[in-house]
Amino acid sequence: MSHRSITTIAIGLLSLVSLTSVGCTTGGGPYLGPAAVPIPVTPYLQEQKEDAFWEHERYDRVPILGPITSGGPAVALDPPSDDEIMRTLERSHPVEGGIPFLHETQRNNVRIRKDLIADYVDPPRFYPLVGPAQLHHAHYKCTITYSETKRVGWPIPHTLHDEETVEVVYIDHNHLHIVGNVDGGAGSNY
């Protein structure tokens, strides 16, 4: 055999061994069929899922607090965060999703004012999975002032500036207070 054919066979064997011995294989575990093939997820869909989880984890749950102390005022918890207010504004007036260089919207110089407009406690009642509790309502009026810039690139390129855009968002913060002498157990916060 010539030197060239021996080199070709050696390279072929080396490439065959290297191609079959690296990468992900399904021989080591259960056979999943087509489910074993990774499916790429777009960054847009990933960001949507992360935002949905963020909102569920922080804003979609009702906390259960200890009993209201006798004689003390029942004051509301913390006012809504700036993040919660901007997410609520984004749901009603979306800025995300514009097409670059075709239609873009920006919010600049954002100022947020939070006003407590109502703070009251309902009479005690029985809630399933909670027991006897009182619902504490806290209603906030959030005024958002910002300058808005809209850039349109087609058919006629132009820019629209609105220096004093004012939006009002109402946010309700409700939470439960346990009623009575309730023993929550060893790991309870109240």
Q: What is the pLDDT of residues 51-109, one digit of tens each?
A: 999 999 988 888 888 888 777 777 887 899 999 999 999 999 988 877 888 889 999 99
Its domain, for residue 141, covers: 49-178
Tokens of 152: 């349109």
In a domain, 103, yes or no: yes
Query: Over the stretch 40-50, which tens digit does the pLDDT of each residue have?
Result: 889 989 999 99
Residue 105 included in any domain:
yes
Nearest to 141 by CA among 63, 79, 58: 79
Residue 189 maps to a domain: no
DSSP 34-79: GGGS-----HHHHHHHHHHHHHHHHTS---EE-PPPTTS-----PP
Is residue 34 assigned to a domain?
no
**Looking at the domain assignment, is residue 11 inside a domain?**
no
Q: What is the pTM (predicted TM-score) of this model?
A: 0.71
Look at the block and give the residue holding tokens 């960001």.
47
Q: How many separate domains does the chain show?
A: 1
